Amino acid sequence: MVQKAKILLVDDRPENLLALEAILSALDQTLVRASSGEEALKALLTDDFAVILLDVQMPGMDGFETAAHIKRRERTRDIPIIFLTAINHGPHHTFRGYAAGAVDYISKPFDPWVLRAKVSVFVELYMKNCQLREQAALLRLQLEGGGAGKAAIGDAKEPAGLLAELSARLAAVEEQAEALSKQLDDESADAAAVATAAHLERKLTGLRRALDALEPGTGSSPSVPSQN
């Protein structure tokens, strides 16, 4: 049974949290509330999240400061952050959000369909990453234990088959990411969309490298070029 992804909603106003829950409930994922930056950081200590929706204007620790703490932690630095704000201070304010680590920046009142669509992209990527990590861990265990008490010929084919299947699944995700990038290009995407596409590319590059490393005796095999 596939577990649901967790989405962290951070806003100091209960009515805003309720509105976010109403919009995102159609995704059928686990929605977690946090009414402050401190509460959000506490939730991130124990749970893994697919994406964080973070209000900028909050008393005490604001959204920018909260994002800075999130990006400094190794456990949470790669979680996508979507900033939500009711205040439009122009390009400089938006740039500050991206500099703090946001992959997107949405002004209130926002289009519910657009917000739900953006969040669903990160949820889908998170779920695929979880599946790939589980399959990679299973494959690693089988590769490590394949030579202990088992016939070499009979077991040699199984890891190879699993590795091929894993590579094929990752290739499918890479194709989806490539299609998304082309769609963004066709729509003359803004800085938010470009940042999102770049984040997806970095995640997929890391997964491809990890998969290549599992292949025995393929240290010189071609791999995905660096996206630095």
pLDDT at 80: 92
* Beta carbons of 57 and 87 less than 8 angstroms apart: yes
Answer whether residue 164 shows pLDDT above 90. Answer: no
Answer whether residue 171 shows pLDDT above 60. Answer: yes
Question: Which of 55, 68, 78, 62 has the alpha carbon at shortest distance from 9?
Answer: 55
State the pTM of this model: 0.63
pLDDT at 184: 62
Q: What is the mean pLDDT of the chain?
A: 77
pLDDT at 105: 80
Least confident range from 68-77, 90-99, 123-132: namely: 90-99
Question: What is the distance between the alpha carbons of residues 117 and 54, in angstroms, rounded to a whole number?
Answer: 17
Q: Helices H, strands E: what count in the chain?
A: 7, 5
Region class of 90: left (phi > 0), else alpha (psi between -120 and 50), else beta = left
Question: Which of 28, 227, 199, 16 has the alpha carbon at shortest distance from 98?
Answer: 199
pLDDT at 212: 74
30-34, strands of its sheet edge to edge: 30-34, 6-10, 51-55, 81-85, 104-107
The highest-confidence range among 6-10, 143-147, 166-170, 203-207, by mean pLDDT, is 6-10
Residue 92 pLDDT grade (very low, low, confident, very high; cuts 50, 70, 90): low
Token representation of residue 17? 């949290």
Average pLDDT of the segment spanning 171-178: 71
Domain locations in the chain? Answer: 6-115, 124-214
* 33: phi then psi, degrees, rounded to nearest 5: -90, 145
Q: N- to C-terminal Cα distance for the chain?
A: 36
Strands 104-107 and 81-85: parallel
Return the CATH superfamily for domain 6-115: Response regulator (3.40.50.2300)
> What are the residue ranges of helices labelled H in 81-111?
91-99
pLDDT at 186: 55
Strands 81-85 and 6-10: unpaired
> What are the residue ranges of helices labelled H in 62-190?
63-72, 91-99, 112-145, 152-186
pLDDT at 36: 95
